[in-house]
Chain A
Amino acid sequence: MANSKKRRKIIVFSIIGLVLVTLIAVAVFKKKQPVITVQTEKVIRTNIIETVVANGKIYPVVQVHISPEVSGEIIELPVKEGQRVKKGDLLVKINPDIYIAAVNLAKASYESSIAAKASAVASLEKAQADYDRNQELFNQKLLSESDFIGFKSARDVAKAQLDSANDQVNVAKANVDNAEEELAKTTIVSPLDGTISKLNSQLGERVLGTVQNTGTDIMVVSDLNTMEARVDVGEMDVVLIRPGQNVSLEVDSFKDQKFTGTVTDVASSSEGLNSLSSASSSTTQDATKFEIRIRISEKESFRPGMSVTGEIETRSRTNVLAVPFASVTARPPKPPPKPPGKSPKTNSVSPASKATNIAKAGGSETNTVKVAGSETNTTPTGNGATNVAKADKKGGAQQKLVDVVFVVEGNHVKMVPVKTGISDETHWEIVEGLKEGDEIVSGGFRAISRDLDDGKKIRKGAATGEEPKS
């Protein structure tokens, strides 16, 4: 009896001891999976407006560079920079002396040619009279033929001389007109109502005309009532921009105000493409830029050259599924599950696997990617280079990263590939892969971009990085 009681006690205590030891051993030696702290949000429906941000400067839409057609010294400059002028107002007067002399000379030549014409007329009259008189005599056979021909020729010569004199008069007249035209060009008036936005020359300066040269740029007259922003966008963004798109503008000088505008022109070729040094510029590292012109809707005291930043609304979507910008990251796609019994463990890159392995530089770390039963070890490079080893036996393109989002399932996450659409500053449009109300990981940055993977344990809270292992 006592023995059976004792035996019973031993059995009970043994069972209790065994249970406790087993549980303690499991708790201590269980593989500790790190718990990652994340922030979460729900997938929502919202409107998304995609914008392209570009910087540039403000210029007048209408801007005229005033250059003289004739050369000379500036003797009158009755305007100054910033002055408003009306169409027809005097801007510049160039010394007209030589041009006045040229006009006088031309006029004198013209007078002379008129006198020469009068002389030719008189000569023709005389020659015609002689011809008529001698023709009568020739008809009465009172004059020899040779003498008659002489009078006839004299008349023809007189006629020709008169014609030449007429031409000379015309030439002289044209010269007079030309000289007067040149003289008129010494006075330059404003071609439009505007403002002298830039004055390059001073009184007394000698300027070159544009007839045989590029001409001196004396001043610029601009219509400041209608201004445009000229901004530069990169080649990746320019394909999204079309005339007519709305733009929000911020001018550095008017920080508290917002302006609006409309795209009026998109450059067909990049800036600097046709420069003389295009061959050398193609080897430089400058980004390819295209100029976009934006008509500013509001009237404000803008000045040419002011800096402006424009947000061009390129595309928009209404009431679409959206996730926070930081939620989307790129990862290699999950390999398809292999049938059991294939691909035993190897220490070389498995030829049947389509996984992409990334070796860390320096040879101190290796990543292993498990592919449905086969384990593949990467080899460290040892030389500091990062290489991507392709495991596909058939060869070909490396595996493309796919956009993924981490969906919260209890205290784990599931990596879900998604198809994204457009984005704005805060959200990505989700075209495929999620539904409204799904809870997804929206932060921290390191967790999403690096630490999280399919099935990993998470904890919701403020982003503090990796939690102590559980």
Chain B
Amino acid sequence: MEPTLPTPAPPPAAPPAPATSLAGRLMNVLAAPGEVFAGIKAAPSSVANWLVPVLIFAVVGTISMCIMFAQPAIQQTVHDQQVKAMDKLVQQGKITQAQEDQALQAMEKFAGPVLLAVFGSIGIVVYGFVSIFGWALVLWLAGRWLLKTQFDYLKTLEVAGLSSIITALGMVITTLLAVILGRLYAGPSLALLVDDFDPTNRGHLLLGAVNVINLWHTGVLAVGLAKLSGTGTVKTATVVFGFWVLIELLLIGIGLGKWAL
């Protein structure tokens, strides 16, 4: 009987990667989202991963609304839009000229910049929560139905939450551009090429939808879906970007294009 060679000892397990702090994850999602989402997949679910970014988005959005609606040029744009909408109602015969004048006077008196900022802030906060829960649902459903993979909804929530830091950064850039240019719709998009942006013009809205921040955000979501599902980024990018394009076209098509911006 031949002597058996001793079984070599298994190599020592690699030491576990040190857990990144929340701040680290928030910063790294901008530069290395794949790394962040790989860690998310491996780590237990954490509420902070989505709650903190959405709160940051809400705070940044509120401050942005206050700054933007304090700009006289933007107040004038809002006023002009109100007048245009009222003129349209008068032309359609839904209200009289006198009623329009009364309504505009009331708006000027009671719906000043403070009220606009308040309502804008509330809208931004609501949008922040709706956006991440909505995107989380989209990613989860895409994983289940299209990619045939299973993962927790909470994981997609964390992915959507961390990605929203990009939209918060986009809000800062949009606010700065609005202050510099004196325009309401002044995001980092092709709409900057249009002098007299009209939010009711579908062509202008399509240009506004081609927004650097939106594209970046959508790409990071695709990376997150790829990490969670274990599939290729190209496939997940096709799914996520395809969904984004559909949503943008739908909103613009049904007259809610402003929300597409």
Interface on A for B, CB 8 Å cutoff? 5, 8-9, 11-13, 16, 19-20, 23-24, 26-27, 30, 35, 410-411, 457-462, 467-468, 470
Per-position 1/0 for B72-112, Cβ under 8 A of A: 11011101100000000000000000000000000010000
Say what secondary structure dominates the interface of chain B: helix
B160: min CB distance to chain A, Å:
21
A12 near B72: Cβ-Cβ < 8 Å: no
Which residue on chain B has the smallest CB distance to residue A37?
B72
- A462: B residues at CB distance < 8 A: 108
Stretch at the interface among B114-122, B175-183, B237-245: B175-183
**A457 touching B73, Cβ below 8 Å:** yes
Evaluate contact between A16 and B72: CB separation under 8 angstroms. no
A411 touching B182, Cβ below 8 Å: yes
Cα(A30)–Cα(B177), bound, Å = 12
B76 touches A411 (CB 8 A): yes
**CB within 8 A of B108: which of A27, A457, A461?**
A461
User: In the assembled complex, how far is the CB of residue A9 from the closest CB belonging to chain B, in whole angstroms?
Assistant: 4
Residues of B within 8 Å of A20, CB to CB, are 172-173, 176
Which residues in B have their C-beta under 8 angstroms from that of A411? 73, 76-77, 182
Whether the Cβ atoms of A9 and B73 lie closer than 8 Å is: no
The 8 Å CB contact of A23, one of B30, B79, B173, is B173
**Across the two chains, which residue of chain A brings its CB closest to B108?**
A461
A-B contact pairs, 20 of them (CB 8 A): A5-B35, A12-B31, A13-B27, A13-B31, A16-B30, A16-B169, A20-B172, A23-B173, A26-B176, A27-B176, A27-B180, A30-B180, A410-B196, A411-B73, A411-B76, A411-B77, A457-B73, A457-B182, A459-B73, A460-B80
- Contact partner, B32, options A8, A457, A458, A467, Cβ 8 Å: A8
Could you say which residues of chain B place their CB within 8 Å of the CB of A26? Answer: 176, 180
CB-defined contacts of B77 to chain A, threshold 8 Å: 411
Task: Give the docked Cα–Cα distance between A404 and B33 (Å).
Answer: 60
Q: Which residue of B lies closest to A5 (CB)?
A: B32
Q: Using Cβ atoms and an 8 Å threshold, which residues of chain A touch B72?
A: 35, 457, 459, 467-468, 470
Residue of B nearest to A411 (CB): B76
Contact A23 B32 (CB under 8 A): no
Q: Are B180 and A23 in contact (CB under 8 A)?
A: yes
User: In the complex, A468 Cα to B173 Cα: how many Å?
Assistant: 23
Chain B residues whose C-beta falls within 8 Å of the C-beta of A468 in the assembled complex: 72
User: How many residues does chain B have at the interface if contact means C-beta atoms less than 8 Å apart?
Assistant: 24
- Judged by a CB distance under 8 angstroms, whether B71 is at the interface is yes
Bound CA span A16–B182, Å:
22
Contact A9 B196 (CB under 8 A): no
Instruction: Select one of A13, A19, A24, A470 contacting B182, CB under 8 A.
Output: A470
- Pick the contact of A460: B76, B172, B179 (CB < 8 A): B76
The 5 lowest CB-CB distance pairs between A and B, nearest first, are: A12-B31, A23-B176, A9-B31, A35-B72, A459-B76
Q: Is B214 an interface residue (CB 8 A)?
A: no
Instruction: Verify if B28 is at the interface (C-beta below 8 Å from A).
Output: yes
Question: Contact between B31 and A19 (Cβ–Cβ < 8 Å)?
Answer: no
Q: Which chain B residues border A460 with CB–CB below 8 Å? A: 76, 79-80
Cβ–Cβ < 8 Å partners of B173 in chain A: 19-20, 23
Min CB distance, A26 to chain B, in Å?
Answer: 5
**Max chain A C-beta neighbours (<10 A), residue from B72, B77, B177, B180:** B72
Q: Chain B residues near A457: list those with CB within 8 A.
A: 72-73, 182
Closest to B83 in A: A460
For the complex with contacts A8-B32, A459-B73, 8 further pairs of A-B residues with Cβ separation under 8 Å are A9-B28, A9-B32, A13-B31, A16-B169, A27-B179, A410-B196, A457-B182, A459-B76
In the assembled complex, the CB of A437 is this many whole angstroms from the nearest CB of chain B, namely 13
Chain A contacts of B79 at CB under 8 A?
A: 459-461
Complex interface: chain A residues within 8 A of B108 (CB): 461-462
| Chain B residues near A458 (CB-CB < 8 A) | 76
In Å, the complex CA distance between A35 and B74 comes to 11
Query: CA of A9 to CA of B173 in the docked complex: distance in angstroms?
Result: 20
Contact A8 B177 (CB under 8 A): no
**Nearest CB in chain A: distance from B221 CB, A:** 17
| Distance between B162 CB and nearest chain A CB, rounded to angstroms | 15
**A315: shortest Cβ distance to chain B, in Å?**
32
